[in-house]
Chains A and B, each alone.
Chain A
Amino acid sequence: MVTPKPEFTAEIAANGGSSLMLCFQCGTCTASCPSGKNTAYRTRKIVRAAQLGLKDETINSEDIWQCTTCYTCSERCPRDVQIVDVITALRNIAVANGKLYEGHKKVAANLIKVGHTVDNNDKIKALRKELGLPENPPTVMDDAKAKADFDKIIEITGFKKLVG
């Protein structure tokens, strides 16, 4: 017996997944999903569970992290459900509830450290020099004031705390 929990559905909507309730469960999304062909991820089922407000079943599931955000499902959805936005909302809520994967944390840690998702290294620096480019790109990586500004955004939006 499943008891719908509308407060969780409302939370998904507040996080950008408001088109969720338009879904009439045709399954075009599942049939179109390249990731679902290789994993247990069934887009339609996740959308249904989200409609019913099944928080634990969605945010604790590895399935919501199998979406590559390719948008094939939302392109083909006859009800115009913004499925990638629903998945993103579920992921945001999962992360806010402490459900983070180590591989993703590493990417986030790089962002916090250098303002980019990957860091520079000696091999790349040498190649950049050889190509007539500065060793560091002219971004936050090469501008202390810009990095400090970026750090402040990371701080005030609570990202540092989120990643832990």
Chain B
Amino acid sequence: MAKYAFFLGCIAPLRYPGIEKSTREVFKALGVELVDLKGANCCPAPGVIKSFSKTTWLAAAARNLALAEKEGLDIVTICNGCYGSLFDAAHELHEDKNLLADVNKILAEIGMKYSGGTKVRHFAEVLFKEVGIEAIKAAVKKPVDLKAAAFYGCHFLKPGKIKNLDDPENPKILDELITATGATSMPRLQKMMCCGAGGGLRSQFGETAMKLTKANLENMKAGGASVIVDVCPFCHLQFDAGQKDIGFNFPVLHLSQLYGIAFGMNAKDLGLDVHITPVKL
């Protein structure tokens, strides 16, 4: 059985615990074991924290990588931000021995060491590459009849040159993961546009963030979608919390929640009650 260190991040466990719960259940159903990465800290967030101090960002990320290395497990994240931070930090540390040595001087102060042995994976990538579409289709108990707007977000596939998961401008991974449940992935303009939340925009320049959110929602509506399916709790938050003020009411589902529905999970266990935009499917 494949086994990963489960990195929870911040927004999923502390704002949308249904995403955490759904992921646990969905991976169990697919025969993938998730071991909690106990004592982990924030990835740290690429927007504000990396913008404030790359040194702090890298050392704190390295602590998470070292915790997983100690368990002998690769990390799986359920958030593009966590994936972006941890993947980029691992990439920098694995490419630059001097940087790794500098970070290890900091980790030594807390009795830890990172040797460069942790791979960082995004849960959608694990689903697509390790579990596979056929196994997912086989696990579907209640085919889903929904018109979905696949929302990739930014840090899942980009920077494309170091992530190498799919064409970052015209990807298919998420569309295929969505259609495996029976849902339809609807086309739309500017499919890869940012939700608006990233880079510290949501916390300081909310109006700019909302302009991007609105443009995305308009494109989704024009494309005929009836639900948003994301792979990032931060995009999830931006759409869920933001759209009511501008006249949209798309239910927002994290891919793990869509799978929860398709795999026949109890609706209560998806944690949809906490969503600001009601989810009535």
Which chain A residues have a beta carbon within 8 Å of chain B's beta carbons?
A: 15-16, 34-35, 38-39, 65-72, 74-75, 82, 84, 88-89, 91-92, 95, 100-104, 106-108, 111, 115-120, 123-124, 127-128, 130-133, 137-140, 143, 145-146, 149-150, 152-154, 156-159, 162-163
Contacts and interface: CB of A to CB of B under 8 A. Distances in A.
B52 A117 contact: no
A75 B41 contact: no
Given A66-B208, A69-B46, A146-B41, A153 B199 contact: no
A132 B17 CA distance: 10
Interface stretch (B105-113, B134-142, B181-189, B248-256): B105-113
Nearest to B40: A139
Given A68-B201, A117-B10, A150-B63, A111 B154 contact: no
Contacts of B273: 127
Contact of B52 (A67, A127, A138, A162): A162
A111 B53 contact: no
Contacts of B17: 124, 127-128, 131, 133
Contact of A156 (B8, B20, B106, B205): B106
Interface string B41-58: 110111111111111100
Contacts of A163: 52
18 contacts: A16-B54, A38-B208, A38-B211, A68-B212, A69-B46, A69-B84, A107-B49, A107-B200, A118-B10, A118-B11, A118-B14, A124-B14, A131-B20, A131-B271, A133-B17, A139-B40, A149-B63, A152-B109
Contacts of B54: 15-16, 88-89, 92
B51 A70 contact: no
Contact of A124 (B15, B50, B59, B198): B15
